[in-house]
Amino acid sequence: MQITRAGRFADVYVLTPPVYSDERGFFMESFRASWLHDIAPGVQFVQDNHSFSHAGVLRGLHYQLQQPQGKLVRVMRGRILDVVVDMRAASPTFGQWERVELSAANRCQLWIPPGYAHGFYTLEDADCLYRCSDYYHAASERVLRWDDPQLAIQWPAAQPLVSAKDQQGVAFAEADYFTEPGLL
Ligand SMILES: Cc1cn([C@H]2C[C@H](O)[C@@H](COP(=O)(O)OP(=O)(O)O[C@H]3O[C@@H](C)C(=O)[C@@H](O)[C@H]3O)O2)c(=O)[nH]c1=O
């Protein structure tokens, strides 16, 4: 198991499990609680999500103020560009973003701790699976504008397919941030 930091963030990680291929196909362990012992001590997952998106879809950027969710994201089919934005006001990387390609081919998983906004763009038709460390809390969900000029996230397409909800995303400057010291 290879675990590397995702760019500038101290607590976002790319996990690359070993894959054992033979003439039948392949085998891999797709989840082990111990992978997270060092990088996210104490985390426990309570909800699994699966979404399918056609190529050219952008979902996000989402976070929830109550029950903030850590997410372990992977792709079963296709290819996505996954983006995280640090929404913790006291963080040294507050307001910064990173993007990581996750695909069925590279089998990488991205660990995103609570306190980040999350979204992805589908480079191909994609089945995306992710484990969440807390339950969905619609009432406190927030949508950060994917094309906020201040954030200037480099998406691969200028006009992705975006839900009506995500079209109403809020600019980073006007967004609600996480202020709990516990998230740092
Ligand atoms: C996220 C979520 C949605 N839903 C429902 C609400 C709605 O009717 C329908 C579709 O919801 P959405 O349009 O918000 O789905 P989607 O845009 O795929 O939302 C997801 O986006 C990615 C980027 C994330 O990081 C996730 O945490 C989640 O916010 O599913 C649940 O029942 N449970 C959930 O956990």
Ligand 1 contacts (CB < 6 A) are: 49, 51, 59-60, 62, 118-120, 136, 163, 165
How close is the Cα of 6 to the center of ligand 1, in Å? 24
In a domain, 24, yes or no: no
In a domain, residue 135? The reply is yes
Please say whether the dihedral angle defined by the alpha carbons of residues 85, 89, 91 and 96, taken in this order, is positive or negative: positive
Per-residue pLDDT of 38-95, as tens digits, reads: 999 999 999 999 999 999 999 999 999 999 999 999 999 999 999 999 999 999 999 9
Asked if the structure places residue 25 within a domain, the reply is no
Catalytic, out of 13, 63, 116, 130? 130
DSSP at 165: H
Count of domains observed in the chain: 1
Answer whether residue 182 is part of any domain. Answer: no
More confident residue, 181 or 21: 21
Residue to mutate (ligand 1; options 57, 59, 87; most atoms within 8 A of CB) = 59
Residue 181 pLDDT > 90: no
Distances (CA, A) of 156 to 4, 53, 55, 56, 128: 24, 16, 12, 9, 18
Parent domain of 96? 2-18+30-176
Q: Quote the CA–CA distance of 49 and 52 in Å, as a whole number.
A: 10
CA distance 137 to 165: 15
- At residue 4 the predicted structure's pLDDT band, cuts being 50, 70 and 90, is very high
pLDDT score of 139: 97
Q: Judge whether 100 lies within some domain.
A: yes
CATH code for the domain of 143: 2.60.120.10
Quick check: is 183 in a domain?
A: no
Residue at 181 is within a domain: no
- Whether 130 is catalytic is yes
Measured at the CA of 54, the angle between CA 67 and CA 83, to 5 degrees, comes to 45
Distance 10 CA to ligand 1 centre (A): 26
- CA–centroid distance, 168 to ligand 1, in Å, is 15
62 catalytically annotated: yes
Residue 23 lies in a domain: no
- Point out the catalytic residue in the list 13, 62, 63, 118: 62
